[in-house]
Amino acid sequence: MTRPTTARAFWLREPGVGEIRSVPLPDPGPDEVLVRTLYSGISRGTETLVFRGEVPVSQYAAMRAPFQHGEFPGPLQYGYLSVGVVEQGPPRLTGRTVFCLYPHQSAYVVPAAAVLPVPEQVPAARAVLAGTVETAVNALWDAAPLLGDRITVVGAGMVGCCVARLAGRFPGVDVELVDLDPSRAPTAAALGVRFALPAEAGTDRDLVVHTSATAAGLQRSLELLAPEGSVLELSWYGDRAVELTLGSAFHSRRLAIRASQVGTVSPAQRRRGPADRLALALRLLDDPAFDALLTGESDFDELPSVMLRLAAGTLPAICHTIRYSSSDNSSAVQ
């Protein structure tokens, strides 16, 4: 029985132009696994910045995905939300559904340590959110909210929604999700938190988590804080400048802006490694509320046009998932 030696992969040929390519699929070694992909998720904020070629030269090294092929601004293969089935590998993993920080590709070979089993009760499509929930976990480790805190999340995208859902599970907290788009109100309700437009958002908040990647969103986040409150900044702006007005109440109210980034485990939990953090994210996905974030699905062959529409803003989405068919996975073990 022979195994095909190629897989199908999504590549950014140049900024704004994506394509499906045939790529080599090596035989797995003794400590490697062959994964047949079921779903991948598009991390809309980061991946559309990459697609448009807006990664600053100074951030090329920091922005590399774990299994990125090629270099910024392109050609390159980028992405990190992949769920599939192990077709070959150690017995403990063979046949298991796993999550991997791999780009959009129909099948791939990676070290066995690079995949984590998806809990049986977590559907494969929902599991693509693991990398985003991991970001939210790290953010809440950084923020360290207290019982009864008043928390606002500004920006109802993937990261903001995940933060809101997890923050809402703290006892006694009051969580409000703020976004310019009123159509996100049902999503907030599904996540068990309140929704508000920016002009209507509650003030005197202990913590504001900002995820909108806009200067206006960050400015509004500061305005919502109680004295000595903090904004936790999760947005990544690419090469865009951010202008703030700090001459009003910023100093007199002793406000703070703090960065959080998933590339480094929060100092509050340094005794845990990235694999522990990701495993926790997968366990937290045993929660049907997260299905509200899966707002669209397309076949793998449609991915070049899907990325073009997401980058242009003509395809509204929180998390758009990519579905792989048997023909996409012709490289899997026969």
What residues contact residue 252 under an 8 Å CB cut-off, 6+ apart? none
Please give the single-letter amino acid code of residue 70: G
Q: At 329, is the pLDDT very low, low, confident or very high (cuts 50, 70, 90)?
A: low
List beta partners, residue 264: none
- Find where tokens 């406000």 sit: 255
Type and span of the H or E element at 219: helix 215-223
What does the pLDDT read at residue 2?
62
What residues contact residue 233 under an 8 Å CB cut-off, 6+ apart? 210, 218, 257, 258, 259, 260
What does the pLDDT read at residue 333?
40
Per-residue pLDDT tens for 246-266?
987 899 999 999 999 888 888
Query: 56-60 long-range CB contacts below 8 Å, 24 or more apart?
Result: 56/238, 56/239, 59/238
Mean pLDDT (the chain) is 93
Give the β-pairing of 107-111 and 32-42: antiparallel
Using DSSP's 3-state secondary structure scheme, residue 161 falls into helix
Q: How far apart are CA 131 and CA 70, in angstroms?
A: 22
Show me where the domains of the chain are located: 6-129+285-323, 132-269
% of the chain with per-residue pLDDT over 90: 83
Using DSSP's 3-state secondary structure scheme, residue 328 falls into coil
Per-residue pLDDT tens for 81-101?
999 999 999 999 999 999 999
Q: How far apart are CA 89 and CA 95, in angstroms?
A: 9
Give the β-pairing of 97-100 and 150-154: unpaired
Instruction: Read off φ and ψ for residue 63, nearest 5 degrees.
Output: -90, 0
Could you tell me the CATH superfamily of domain 6-129+285-323?
Medium-chain alcohol dehydrogenases, catalytic domain (3.90.180.10)
Instruction: Read off φ and ψ for residue 81, nearest 5 degrees.
Output: -135, 85
List beta partners, residue 88: 34
Per-residue pLDDT tens for 132-168?
999 999 999 999 999 999 999 999 999 999 999 999 9
Please name the CATH architecture into which domain 132-269 falls.
Answer: 3-Layer(aba) Sandwich (3.40)
- What is the pLDDT averaged over residues 199-220? 96
